[in-house]
Structure 1
Amino acid sequence: MRSYKLLAIFLVISLVLLGCSEKNKEELQSEETASTSSPEENQTEESEALTLENDGINEEEFKEALGTFPDEMKEKIITSSVPISEILYELDITPVGIPTSPYELPEKFNDIPEIGTSMTPDIEVITSLDADFFIGSASVKESLDEHLKNIALDTSYLGTDNFDDIKMAIKVLGTYFDKKDNMNAMLEDILLWENTLIEEGASLEKQKALLLIGTSDSFMVMNNNTYLGSILKRTNIENVAETEFKSEETYAAINMENIIQANPDVIFVLAYGDAEDIKKEFLNEIDKNEAWKSLVAYENDAIQFLDYDVYGVSSIKNMETALTGITEFLEVAETNE
């Protein structure tokens, strides 16, 4: 029962923060079939460094996403997405409406009207802003289309769930709004951090990781559709949700039998809420269930508690910390073996 409660909580979180969202089966299948090459495949066996010319972004998917934008460039833009708001800021594009969110947006946007939550923005506010283009998160497209259907407004949607999504969104928005200098500056920084992550991650021993996210009373397993998962897959880390559990669900209930069989070398725990309380709750869970103590990760003191604001949300402002800092946790886990 607690797992179902937590799943409902995370569904609400994903709609508000647009950092994490559960993709449905159809979306997952389309991702598998639409791409002719994955980010990993775009990195050659010789670990060729990513550059602006070889940025790891699938060209066919980029063209498809760009093709969903209006032919004529729009000027009065509204977005209900926090990550898209951050990207617009870095591209020097000022929207006329931004999302209402607990996350702090750039100070330059302080005087811009808030349009409400990511899934159900305020129709009256949107209408009053006389906008001509709405950009939302692809994870809530169906709900937003239904919500906005009676407004004469062009709409487009971009993925914002994970690291690959953010790179794609930057390239699409920078190209569409003809902000290529800003776009390239952003991508150069991101590719530098990504190259560092790949290089440092490759130097570590191959490890199996269990990714968990939890509140004060329950925890769930995460796959690579999450922001943390999409970062770790650029290292020598195997996410057991992908390799052992074959999970297509972004968030799945804990199955202790599967976890014992996978026997992860390291466990990463994202705490949504009071980090200390959640850490205490997880350690209590270990004390109550001796099965946790049989895991290599426990024996080697390789249970890592990560900052949700850095590793749980696909945020531009925290991306450098996320990409350059994750290997420190991996090195600690390796040292403790």
Structure 2
Amino acid sequence: MKKGLYSALLLSTALLLGACGNAEDTSSGSKVEQTTKDQTATANSAQTNEAVDKLVQVFPQKEMKNVVTTSVTLAEMLHILDVTPIGLPTTTHQLPKEFETIEKVGSPVEPDVEKIVSLKPDIVIGPISVHTSLEKKLKQTNVASAYLPTDSYEDLKNDLTALSIVLKKEQLATSYLNELEKKEQKIIQSLDVKDRKVMILFGTGESFMLMNTNTYVGSLVNTMGAQNMITKVSKSKEAYVPLSMENVIATNPDVILLVSHGDATVALKQFKDEVKKNGAWNQLTAFKEDRVQALDYSVFGYASIEKAPQALEELQKILAK
């Protein structure tokens, strides 16, 4: 039954993509190109169905009216689905205004389990990153839980679809995802940045890591069609890969994106001051052409399906510079 529901939920998005593509079918060459696009869209839709199916299965087979979430990312999705939770994480990130008076259950990393239990939720929904630590505590109670991946842009779309199914809010998710797709395609098609070679750094000072395509920012860069250069020098599937100066020089990125906590201007200055100690950085195309950019933490600081269009627009401006 659930499988049929989410298949229907995703069908309209697939049809939208197909319709947009068919409008461009003006020659035999474009027909071949369109056929390839349609085949890719079909394959992606099948993969999405499978991914959503797995997510739906992590939820208990029962009605879930009283929901607690330990994640800002997931709290945004509940807001989109018009579901008011009874418990939310304590955070410095801005929660939906309608959620300001809702009980807080502690930090996303170390939530207060006693507080959660006292709220008598039907389900606690958290990111899969805290599954081990939180479940160890929750399993001693009678509180049901479910954990979702919240790393990449695709994760967020699949999460919203899965949540809409188990919370019986499919129409809201369909409408939101269709509008999101339109915004995404408009941004992508307005400027072509496919030739851009991008390196994404996370951290501060000397402790930088490379961000892979399965991170939030990495997946947004991938959505734009730009090349995340980590894929050229590493086969690692880890979200964060140790920085190797040898690899940085070998890939010679056109653009370097810096993701760090706090003020972006301060972070950029600290980064530039640090790399002055190694003259090799200044020989990179990104430095020569002044395309080293610290990303706004309020937009890129956590995975957000609500802020994704704004994030894509900002990335496009940076990459097209």
- Normalised by the length of structure 1, the TM-score is 0.79
Partner of 1:263 in structure 2?
A: 252
Aligned 1:194-273 pairs, distance under 5 A: 194-200=184-190, 203-215=192-204, 218-273=207-262
Match of 2:113 among 123, 126, 134: 123
Partner of 1:187 in structure 2?
A: 177
What amino acid is the match of 1:255?
S
Structure 1 CA distance for aligned equivalents of residues 183 and 263 of structure 2:
29
Partner of 2:265 in structure 1?
A: 276
SS at 2:217 equivalent: helix
Match of 1:319 among 293, 298, 308: 308
SS at 2:158 equivalent: helix
Partner of 2:289 in structure 1?
A: 300
Can you list the C-alpha shifts for 1:29-75, whole angstroms capped at 9, x where unaligned?
xxxxxxxxxx9xx9995346x99xx8686111111111121212211
Structure 1 CA distance for aligned equivalents of residues 60 and 208 of structure 2:
42
RCO higher in 1 or 2 (8 Å CA, sep ≥ 6)?
1
Structure 2 CA distance for aligned equivalents of residues 221 and 121 of structure 1:
29
User: Could you say if the C-alpha distance between residues 95 and 205 of structure 1 is closer, same or farther in structure 2, counting changes exceeding 3 Å?
Assistant: closer
SS at 1:234 equivalent: helix
Task: Answer yes or no: is the 8 Å Cα contact 1:216–1:273 preserved in 2.
Answer: no
Partner of 2:10 in structure 1?
A: none
Measure how far apart 1:258 and its partner are.
1.1
Structure 1 CA distance for aligned equivalents of residues 98 and 46 of structure 2:
31
Structure 1 CA distance for aligned equivalents of residues 238 and 56 of structure 2:
27
Q: Is there any run of 5+ residues in structure 2 with no aligned partner, and where? A: 1-13, 22-32
More helix by share: 2
User: Could you say if the C-alpha distance between residues 60 and 143 of structure 1 is closer, same or farther in structure 2, counting changes exceeding 3 Å?
Assistant: same
Can you list the C-alpha shifts for 1:218-264, whole angstroms capped at 9, x where unaligned?
42211112111001112331111122233333223321111101111
Can you list the C-alpha shifts for 1:86-122, whole angstroms capped at 9, x where unaligned?
1101111011111111112112112211111223321
Structure 1 CA distance for aligned equivalents of residues 234 and 47 of structure 2:
27
Partner of 1:113 in structure 2?
A: 103
User: Could you say if the C-alpha distance between residues 164 and 57 of structure 1 is closer, same or farther in structure 2, counting changes exceeding 3 Å?
Assistant: farther
Task: Answer yes or no: is the 8 Å Cα contact 1:217–1:281 preserved in 2.
Answer: no
Partner of 1:141 in structure 2?
A: 131
Q: Is there any run of 5+ residues in structure 1 with no aligned partner, and where? A: 1-38, 333-337
Match of 2:56 among 62, 66, 90: 66
SS at 1:288 equivalent: coil
CA RMSD of aligned residues (A): 2.5
Task: Answer yes or no: is the 8 Å Cα contact 1:214–1:278 preserved in 2.
Answer: no
For structure 1, which segment, 54-63 or 178-187, has the greater mean C-alpha deviation from structure 2 after superposition?
Answer: 54-63
Task: Answer yes or no: is the 8 Å Cα contact 2:268–2:293 preserved in 1.
Answer: no
Where do 4+ consecutive residues of structure 1 move more than 6 Å? 54-57
Computing the radius of gyration from Cα coordinates, the structure with the larger value is: 2
Partner of 1:161 in structure 2?
A: 151
Counterpart check, 1:94 vs 2:97: no
Structure 2 CA distance for aligned equivalents of residues 69 and 140 of structure 1:
16
Measure how far apart 1:217 and its partner are.
5.6
Structure 2 CA distance for aligned equivalents of residues 314 and 165 of structure 1:
9
Structure 2 CA distance for aligned equivalents of residues 236 and 207 of structure 1:
9
Measure how far apart 1:189 and its partner are.
2.0
Counterpart check, 1:104 vs 2:97: no
Structure 1 CA distance for aligned equivalents of residues 316 and 45 of structure 2:
21
Measure how far apart 1:124 and its partner are.
1.8
Measure how far apart 1:170 and its partner are.
0.7
